[in-house]
Amino acid sequence: MTFLELAERILREERRPLTAEEIWRIAQEKNYADRLGSKGKTPWNSIGAQLYIDIRDNPKSKFIISGRRPTRFALKEFADVPVPSSDEPTVPTKADYRERDLHPFLTYFTYTYQGIYTKTIYHENSSKDRYAQWLHPDMVGVYFPLDTWKSEVLEIAREVGNQVLRLYSYELKRELTFNNLREAFFQAVSNSSWAHQGYLVAAEVAQDEDFIEELKRLSTSFGIGVIKLDIHNPDDSEILIPAKEREFLDINTINRLAEINSDFLKFLKGIKIDLSSREIRKERYDPVLSSEDLIRSISNMGARR
């Protein structure tokens, strides 16, 4: 049984909208979970992600999104069933959350939809370098082909000098407007030169037509991508502008980053160990929370005030 088949069976039997976590809990209670070919450590995340992708990309999808905060799923044939009432979490304003509060949302998005493992790079762990904020990003990421490439292929890739992983750089901002666009953009340009791809990430992106045109122009000129995070529904986060792929890594800059920041050095060491052992140790990277846990964190943001 696949995750989608499991979700369909539970939703059909329950005849009401359910969150991904509720689908998984009921599947365990009914012993359906044992029929899955693969579970993983966070099967509720897999259920939510596959439902969301099927709804988004499959015109003949049997599923719909029925209710937000938290996101609930339902079968189209039961679309008229009312959504259970629940207490809406406090909706935060920009004053309620910090840039670092966005890190778990980016981790969820990149891992769930791109298979990228991320790690926060704490600026306070850098040596006292007056230009440190322009040298290293807020977060870094790595994509391993270990799950998709045969071991023989990996060995051949190493022998011929082909790179078997991709490295990513992320600069996070709470918002992007004309007021901070140029500084934020060129900060992303400066601290992503070492990676295969660099991204500027924000929870709020101005929708003014002139602003979007300027954002696209800068991205085309310098190759920086743009990701918009949705803190109310993490599955609605999206890549607004894809980053341009760089063929080669800037080893000199990588070396300097490793010298000034212990988090980045640990990130590199972890990658080396994972590649050598052909086993990804997820505890070395930022934890991947469920979309429900991320949404619950919103109320905590608002409660700070």
Q: Are residues 158 and 15 in the same domain?
A: no
Domain, as residue range, for 70: 3-78
Q: Which tokens go with 61? A: 């999808």
pLDDT at 28: 85
Q: Determine which of 72-76, 105-109, 195-199 has the lowest per-residue pLDDT on average.
A: 72-76
Q: Please, what's the largest Cα pairwise distance for the chain?
A: 61
Q: Is 304 inside a domain boundary?
A: no
Q: Is 86 inside a domain boundary?
A: no
E-strand ranges in 261-304 read: none
Q: Are residues 136 and 275 in the same domain?
A: yes
Give 46's Cβ-side CA count (13 Å radius). 15
- Let me know how many helices (H) and strands (E) the chain has, helices first: 10, 8
What is the DSSP secondary-structure string of 172-212?
EEEEE-TTTHHHHHHHHHHHTTTSSEEEEEEEEE---HHHH
Within 10 angstroms of residue 7's Cβ, the number of other Cβ atoms is 24
Contact 79, 66 (CB under 8 A): yes
- 237 or 44: whose pLDDT is higher? 237
Distance separating alpha carbons of residues 203 and 230, to the nearest angstrom: 6
Q: Which tokens go with 153? A: 């292929």
- Long-range pairs for 125-130: beta carbons < 8 A, 24 or more residues apart: 125/261, 125/262, 125/263, 126/260, 126/261, 127/259, 127/260, 127/261, 129/260
Q: Is 109 inside a domain boundary?
A: yes
Q: Which tokens go with 237? A: 């986060």
Q: Is 216 inside a domain boundary?
A: yes
Within 10 angstroms of residue 134's Cβ, the number of other Cβ atoms is 13
**Mean pLDDT, to the nearest integer, of 263-286?**
87
Q: Is 94 inside a domain boundary?
A: no
- pTM as predicted: 0.70
Total structural domains within the chain? 2
Q: Are residues 65 and 111 in the same domain?
A: no
Contact 147, 178 (CB under 8 A): no
- 33 or 258: whose pLDDT is higher? 258
Question: Is pLDDT above 50 for 301?
Answer: yes
Q: Is 179 inside a domain boundary?
A: yes
pLDDT at 269: 92
pLDDT at 44: 81
Q: Are residues 123 and 167 in the same domain?
A: yes
Q: Are residues 117 and 175 in the same domain?
A: yes
Within 10 angstroms of residue 246's Cβ, the number of other Cβ atoms is 17
DSSP label at 77?
G
pLDDT digits (tens, 9 = 90+) for 176-188: 999 899 999 999 9
Q: Are residues 123 and 73 in the same domain?
A: no
Q: Is 300 inside a domain boundary?
A: no
Q: Determine which of 149-163, 186-200, 263-277 has the lowest per-residue pLDDT on average.
A: 149-163
In which band, very low, low, confident or very high, does the pLDDT at 88 lie, cut at 50, 70 and 90? Answer: very low
Rounded percentage of the chain residues whose pLDDT exceeds 90? 31
Q: Are residues 68 and 130 in the same domain?
A: no
pLDDT digits (tens, 9 = 90+) for 207-235: 888 999 999 999 999 999 999 999 888 88
Q: Which tokens go with 280? A: 């990804």
Look-up: residue for tokens 């930022």?
A: 286
Q: Are residues 258 and 229 in the same domain?
A: yes
- 55 or 134: whose pLDDT is higher? 55
Q: Are residues 73 and 110 in the same domain?
A: no
Closest CA to 205 of 177, 233, 179: 177
